[in-house]
Structures are given as C-alpha cells and as structure tokens.
Amino acid sequence: MEGRGMDKPVIVTVDDDPGVSRAVARDLRRRYGQHYRIVRAETAVQGLEAVREMRLRGDEVCAILADYRMPQMNGVEFLEAAMDMYPYARRVLLTAYADTDAAIQAINVVDLDHYLLKPWDPPEEKFYPVIDGQLDAWQRTDRVEVAELRVVGDRWSRPSYKVREFLARNHVPYQWMLAEDPEGAQLVAAAGDDCHLPLVVTADGSMLQAPDQSTLASTVGLSTTPATDFYDLIVVGGGPAGLGAAVYGASEGLRTVLVEAHASGGQAGQSSRIENYLGFPDGVSGQQLADRARRQALRFGAELLTTRRVTRLEPRGQARVVGFEDGGEIAAHAVILATGVAYRRLDAPGLDDFVGRGVFYGAALTEAPSCRGQDVYIVGAANSAGQAAVYLSGFARTVHLLVRGDGLEKSMSHYLIEQIQAVPNIEVHLETRVTGGKGDGHLQHLTLSSGGQERVVDAQWLFVFIGAQPYTSWLDDTVERDEKGFVLTGPDLVQGGQRPRNWTLRRQPYFLETNVPGVLAAGDVRAESIKRVASAVGEGAMAVALVHRYLEKQ
C-alpha cells in the first residue's frame, strides 16, 4: 500500500492489477498530488484496512476508486463496505466495457456516483474531467454528521406516517421506532403520561409531540420564512418544473424564491426509479433527482421555502402578490405557477378511512420495507404505477398491478412494460377495479371487481396512482383554467381570436403566460402539457426565458 502526507484529503484507489493500479495512482498524483493524498491498494482487503486506519486517525477521504473485478470481494462489495466508514466519499467504479451491466447494478446498491470504462487514455479528456467533477461535488457537500432524529409512533397511524413521509421527502435522516418497542416505550414515558404520538425527539433531547409540518420543518432546519417581502420571481411549487425554474431563474440573476407546501420533487420525487430522463443512462431515483436539483438551486442563490401553502394570487399594479395560508404574503415582478397535480382519490367505499393506514396515494417509499414478504396491490396503468410495481417487487411476496383498461400500452412506457413482464412476482390484472376496503384500525381486505364478478382478498397495502388533479382551486377567478382545472396559457387563451379575460396589453400572451401578464405556468399544472419529467423541467426553463422577455417589455 502506498501513501504520503497526512494533512490532505485522501483519494483511495484499489485495483488488483499492479500495472493498472500504478497507472491510476500516477495519473491521480500528476493532477491532484499537490492538494490531495493518494492512497493505493492492490487488494480489496488491503484497501479496507487502509480505510479503517484512516477513519480511526480522523483523516478525510474524498473519493474512492475501485476496480470491479477483484478476488475476495468485487468493487461493488468493496465500495459498499467502505461507504459505511465514509458515507460522503464519492464512489467511482472502474470497469471494462464487458462489465457495464454490473456498474449499472452498482448504482442501486451503493448509490454509485460514476463508473469509468478502462482504458481512459488520454486522461485529460476521459479521466480528469470525471474526477474534477467528483472532487467538486465532495467539496460542496455538507459533511458534518448530524445525529438522527428519533420518531416514535404507531404502525398504523396516519399522523405517524405523515411525519415519516415528510422527513424522508425532505432528506432528513431519522430513526423510526414503534411505541411498544422497549426504546420507544422509554421515550414515550419520558415525555409524560399524556404524550401525544407521533413523538419526535431531536439530537439535543427536545421532544415534539404530534408536531405540525411547519414546526417540524423549523426544527430540522428547513427554511420557512422569506428573507424579504419582494423578489424578481416567485415560483409556486417544488416539482421538476418549479425546481427547473428556480435553477434557471437564480442562475440568470433573478432574485428567486420557490415556495413548496410539502417537499421538493413533487410526484417525480416519489418515483423509485426514472430511467428515461436525459443524461442519466443508468436511471436515477426521483428523490436523488429532486435533491440534486434542490442543491443546485440553492447553490445559485435561490431561496426555498418549505411548508408554506399558497392560497391567493393578486395583481397589484406591476407587482404580483402571493398570499399564504397563515395570512402572510410576498410580492414579485413575475410568478411561475408550477403546482403540479395530485393523484385522484379512489372512489370506493371504506378506503378513505385507511389513508396512511394501508392506503397510500403515490409511491410512499418509506413503507416499502414494511411490505416485505406480503402481498401488495397497486392501482394504475401509467409510468408512476409501473415504477412502483418494479420497486416494491423487491420487498413484497407478490405485487398485484390492477389495471382498469385492457392493457398497459396506451399509458405506460415500453421499457417499463418489458421490466414488469420480466419480474416473476408481479401479476398484472387487466379490467380490474377496487370497489371497497375494510379493516379494523388499518386496511385488511379489498373487494375487487373483474368481469362482472366480485371477490374479497386479504390486503394490508394499497398504493394508488390514478389520474391527475391539478392544485389550482386557490386561484379562484384570477387565472383562467379549463373545465378540469388546468391552467390555460398562450395560444389556448386566444382561440377564435378572443382576447383573454382582463388582458390589458396590446401583445398576445407568451406561450406559457396566463391571462395575467407576468404570471406563467409550467409543467403538469398547465393545460395540454406533456406529463413527463423532462418536459416539465424544460417548461420551467422556458418560463424563465419568457419572464426575462416580460421584464424587458415593462
């Protein structure tokens, strides 16, 4: 094992081929030796010993490069062991072209940051740009290890589920325990005789009983209060369209604030795997994509407000005012509406009683481990339902995908249909509907209807992905919408030569502009939009370009 200098961040490289190992270390030292210490190991065992020693000494490891094909343990297994000691180190797998499938699998196992195909000559073109990017990402990462919150609650409690889901979607680590578990019971007893669950215990021992989301957000350090009362741009909604608008708005010099009622990512943020998003050939989870976009927006200077529900939009002269549920308000030159859509409720007797207690709208990824070895039922035929079916099949005994129509081809991407067909424990039930649900305290039975016949099945888990209901009722008559509530923009406002209602300008509305000048809509909330992540991000960027055009004309 080689290494030198004890006061620099460490780049670790492990490869069992001595020639390749020396070449990697040589290239790394040539470019990074002045600011980083390079540690080389020729076996995985030797590499883990080195990593353990560095952990004990308190050294910082910024990147770990591991060859895939090694005896004793392969590169994926090595990275998985090393990440327990250095969770913030960037992980790069070195692989031959024949092993690219293994590299793709590694993305799911160890959240691989990159894989490099060997050979990479010249390093100036194929090696250094990758390592530069990884080291830059590491430098920007907040590497302070934060003690986890502890959440104590009931297994089938809707408030407990909402707290866990909120923390997970906002990327806040926490430890979940049941109130009847020994440690959970001790914490409940310490909180007092009249403790209200869920109980949230912070790192310093403070206890929050059944906190609302705003209190919880402030406690874990999420921003809930605007820094000022006037901005260049307000973005309402933190899904792909809203995050895209925040990134492009802030990066182009607009003082930008994004307001989100729950957590960044929207519906896409709940997707277990998005595999057809441009630039991610190996797929990316919705949570990862949302987190990267959120950090990118913050890096450019955008302000992100969480747990602030917008209830009012009002033009006041040249200002556009956004009002909050608590009575507060902020104003800006322009507003982008990116509130997205929500899954429609399943109209079946009994189900509303079990929301958060066996019935979940959306992926609810926090529940997946609890489904292990049990039957799971999913309602829906679009990509979100397919992604959830594939993901949950890794936990459940059987995943039953219930489809109202006679096939998946009209609403689901071809790659997902092929994946579902290849998973043995996914069963697709066509022309099948859920017509009822029953249980004692939580969902226990579902009534299914197919071919005019009804049957009752034992079921504790139902995930619903049906339809799209836009969150636009708060707009009242200010902004024109279609009969389903989607926001009308651009050409849809001037059909038949009619001018938009209350439109005072000589020009026609821009493509994404509503009937209120300076108020634009992007993503799923817009009428006739393409319901895909890539198009939503694109519309967010386009909306910012149109905001610039609007401001120039003012």
First to last CA, the chain: 66
Listed in order, the ranges of the chain carrying CATH 3.40.30.10 are 149-219
Unique residue bearing structure tokens 């072209």: 97
What the block records as the tokens of 539 is 């519309």
pLDDT of residue 362: 82
Residue 125 φ/ψ, nearest 5 degrees: -100, -35
**Can you tell me the distance from the alpha carbon of 339 to that of 471, in angstroms, rounded to the nearest whole number?**
6
Listed in order, the ranges of the chain carrying CATH 3.40.50.2300 are 10-140
Average pLDDT per block of 10 residues along the chain, 554 residues long: 65 92 92 94 91 85 91 84 86 76 61 79 88 89 68 92 89 87 89 90 88 91 93 96 97 97 82 81 80 91 94 95 95 97 90 93 82 94 92 94 94 94 96 96 96 94 90 93 95 84 90 97 94 93 97 88
**Element of type H or E holding 47:** helix 44-57
- Contacts of residue 372, defined as CB under 8 A and 6 or more positions apart, other chains included, come to 395, 396
pLDDT in tens, 499-511: 888 888 989 999 9
Closest CA to 375 of 432, 444, 448, 272: 444
- Helix pair 414-422, 383-392: axis angle to 10 deg: 30
For the 230-342+469-553 domain, the top CATH level (class) is alpha beta
**Can you tell me the distance from the alpha carbon of 77 to that of 68, in angstroms, rounded to the nearest whole number?**
9
Please, are residues 36 and 10 in contact by the beta-carbon 8 Å criterion?
yes
Give the three-class secondary structure for 130.
helix
pLDDT of residue 72: 77
pLDDT of residue 5: 46
Give the three-class secondary structure for 447.
strand
Q: What does R_g of the chain's alpha carbons equal in angstroms?
A: 26
pLDDT of residue 174: 87
**Can you tell me the distance from the alpha carbon of 198 to that of 347, in angstroms, rounded to the nearest whole number?**
29
pLDDT of residue 196: 92
**Can you tell me the distance from the alpha carbon of 547 to that of 543, in angstroms, rounded to the nearest whole number?**
6
Residue 23 φ/ψ, nearest 5 degrees: -65, -40
For the 351-464 domain, the top CATH level (class) is alpha beta
The pTM of this model reads 0.75
What the block records as the tokens of 27 is 């290239």
CATH architecture designation of domain 149-219: 3-Layer(aba) Sandwich (3.40)
Give the three-class secondary structure for 483.
coil
Listed in order, the ranges of the chain carrying CATH 3.50.50.60 are 230-342+469-553, 351-464
Instruction: Report the CATH number of the 10-140 domain.
Output: 3.40.50.2300
Closest CA to 456 of 444, 442, 441: 444
